[in-house]
Structure formats: C-alpha cells, structure tokens
Amino acid sequence: MADPVFIGVAVLTVGSAIFALETRELIYAAIALAISMLGIAGFFLLLDAPFVAMFQIAVYVGAVAVLIIFAVMLVSTKALFTPREDKKRKGAGIVLMLIIMASLGAILLASGLNGQFGNFNESQAIDFREIGEQMLTYYAPTLIILGLTLAGSVIAALALARREDVTTASGGEEQHHGRAD
Amino acid sequence: MAELIDFLIISAILVAVGIYGLIVKRNAIRMLIGIEIIANAANLSLVAFSRSLPNAQGQVFALFSIAIAAAEVAVGLGLVIVAHRLYKEIDVAEFRSMRG
C-alpha cells in the first residue's frame, strides 16, 4: 500500500516537527523546522509537483528558517530557555493533540476518499507550464496583489525592527557636522 | 505508490502537532514555528488534492500560500524583536501590557 519512501519521508517530517517543538534550544528548533520543511518538499516531489517543491525549498529552507535563526541570534540568551514548563498544561496539550489527530483521522477514513481517488497515474501529472499559464492569465491580479502584500510586509517588518534612537543620534549628527565643515 | 488518504493523514497529524505547539509553548518564536507547521500541513493537503483531481489550481494556491506565509513570518519575527526590546523577554505570558 504505502511504499517505504513515503514512510521514510513521513517519519522524517513528523519527527522533526515534534523535535522542533520539544527541543530546549531554539537554534536546534529552527534547524529541525528546516528539515521538516525539506520533508514536505519531498512529499511534493512524491506528488509530482517539482515546481512547488523547489519553491518550498527556496522560501522555507532558504528564507524562513534563516530568518528564524537570525531572530534567535538577536534575542538574548537568557530569554531563549524555558526553565519552567507546566506539566499539567503539557499533559492537556498532548491529550488535545491526540483528540484532534484521532477525530481528523476518523473523519478522513469515513469520508469515502479512501480508495476513490487513490490511483495516481503517470499520465495525470500536472505540467508546470499549466501553473505558469494559470498564474499569468486567470490569477494575474492575485499575483500583483501578492507582490504588493510581500513588499508591504517586508517594509512593515523593517519599520518594526528599526531603532530610531540609536541610528538617528549617531548618523544624523555626523552628517550635520560634515555639512557644517 | 502512496494514495491520497496517506497524504491527508500525514497532513492531519501535522496540524495536530502544530496546534499542540501553539497551546503548550509560551515562547513566541516557538509559537511561530507551530504556525509554520500548520501552514505546511495545509499546503500538503492542497497539493495532494491537486494531484488526485487532477487540477493545476491547487498547486497555484499552494504557491500563493507559501508566499503569504513568508510575509507573515517576516512581520511576526519583527514583532518578536520589538517585544524583546520592550520587555527583555519573549515569553508571551510576560507581555502583560499593550502600551509601548
């Protein structure tokens, strides 16, 4: 039914996702998140979507994980550890996780999807030219709005993280002196 | 070859793991990691349905979703940096007041 490649990628993805949430050091958590994203990209390759897999690797492993690692470096080391962890809260979280897992799994198994769309034929693989065509014709306004959203959010992140007290105090005065001379 | 239901079950497991991280962890960066795991589970089920229908629009949606998630992480980490500057702490339980 399920081939060994699928099982290996599934174990890698879920295991590193759990490790990313459970390890005590945030820098290992960021690396484990990158490995989990690589596992998701492996699933995309198994689903004959190499373009989405390359996009996933470029954005998640290349940008998001590195961004999290840089944020971890900027945060002081004292704040990175969580020495006290509420046992009761953790137990309740695990119980809720198992309930969600079991109920979603029961819904999926009862939904009739099992075996109905099961056969992935080789001839049905989606060409990436079709994705490009859809993006540039039907989804062209969405693509433009997406670009504007990305630009706006990057500018917003820069404006949030900027410290006006330090930069204007030193840089502004030097410029002023330079002009006066 | 794995079937559609296998990918959907992996997606459900990842959603549950991400929700667990969101409700148990109090570290802001770790909560962002949980959000990323949930977003990736959604992308996985989008691409799985796109493969099984077959329809290219699911993959287009997954691409848009990945780009939006990148923007969200940028703003979220900017907020974490600002909160750390204000409170010297990234524990969300310590963010008691919303004043700057």
Per-residue pLDDT of chain A (181 residues; tens, 9 = 90+): 558 899 999 999 999 999 999 888 888 999 999 999 999 999 999 988 899 999 999 999 988 988 999 888 888 776 666 656 678 888 888 999 999 999 999 998 888 776 655 556 655 677 888 888 888 999 999 999 999 999 999 999 888 888 777 655 554 444 444 444 4
Instruction: Determine the angle formed by the axes of helices B28-52 and A4-22, rounding to 10 degrees.
Output: 160
Q: What is the CATH number of domain A1-82?
A: 1.20.120.1200
Is the four-CA dihedral A156, A162, A165, A171 of positive or negative sign? negative
- Residue (of A71, A5, A8) closest to A35 by Cα position: A8
The answer to the question of residue B2 being in a domain is no
CB pair distance less than 8 Å for A101 and B40: no
Domain count, chain B: 1
Range of the domain at B16: 7-94
Say which CATH number the domain at B24 has. Answer: 1.10.287.3510
CB < 8 Å to B53, chain A: 117
Residues 6+ apart with CB under 8 A from B91: A79, A82, B26, B27, B28
Structure tokens at A107: 């819904």
The answer to the question of residue B1 being in a domain is no
Name which of A72, A79, A146 is nearest B67 (Cβ-Cβ): A146
- What residues 51-80 of chain B have any CB closer than 8 A to a CB of chain A? 51-57, 59-60, 62-64, 66-75, 77-80
The answer to the question of residue B100 being in a domain is no
Domain boundaries, chain A: 1-82, 84-115, 128-181
